[in-house]
Amino acid sequence: MAQVTFKNGPVTLLGNEVKVGDKAPDFTVLANDLSPVTLKDSEGKVRLFSVVPSLDTGVCDAQTRKFNEAAAELGDNVVIYTVSMDLPFAQKRWCGAAGIEAVQTVSDHRDASFGEAYGVHIKELRLLTRAVFAVDAEGTVAYVEYVPEATDHPNYEAAIEAVKALTK
């Protein structure tokens, strides 16, 4: 299992660690309108999952904005999700205030389905740890980053390059 810290303290991640080459695990999260979203909903497209503890924090805000900006260069065959435990209503409000339109925010608050399927559910906090996953159009995991310290930024460039490579 990936080892991560939150504010430099060790935390326990629930679920299964995902590795490059794995079949992407399915999940059910909620869109901002409370409708269910699953892996199958974006079948046939390249997926980038940007996982954050909470949109209302500086690093999570910056991470979501960075991938929102990158969406234009990644093209129409790429779907970018930001996954957090924030309530769908809070995600919708935040996106409106931040002008986020190219990234779909989805909430894992109800079942922690994504968190457990991808091994990012922090047991002690009921938050998701910071991570980035890229999944190809056939549903295979092509890029994984579990950020070692959950309050640090991910490697944006590596994630974006991995997605670009999948769209060629």
DSSP 8-state code for residue 16: -
End-to-end C-alpha distance for the chain, whole angstroms: 31
Question: What is the rounded (10 degree) CA torsion for 49, 85, 148, 120?
Answer: -70
**Residue 143 and residue 104: Cα distance in Å, rounded?**
19
**Residue 93 and residue 148: Cα distance in Å, rounded?**
29
DSSP 8-state code for residue 30: E
Are 155 and 146 contacting, i.e. CB atoms less than 8 angstroms apart?
no
Q: Is 95 a catalytic residue?
A: no
**Residue 95 and residue 86: Cα distance in Å, rounded?**
12
Question: Which residue has tokens 């490059």?
Answer: 20
- Residue 47 structure tokens: 């997926």
Question: Which one of 51, 60, 74, 166 is the catalytic residue?
Answer: 60
Active-site residues: which are they? 60
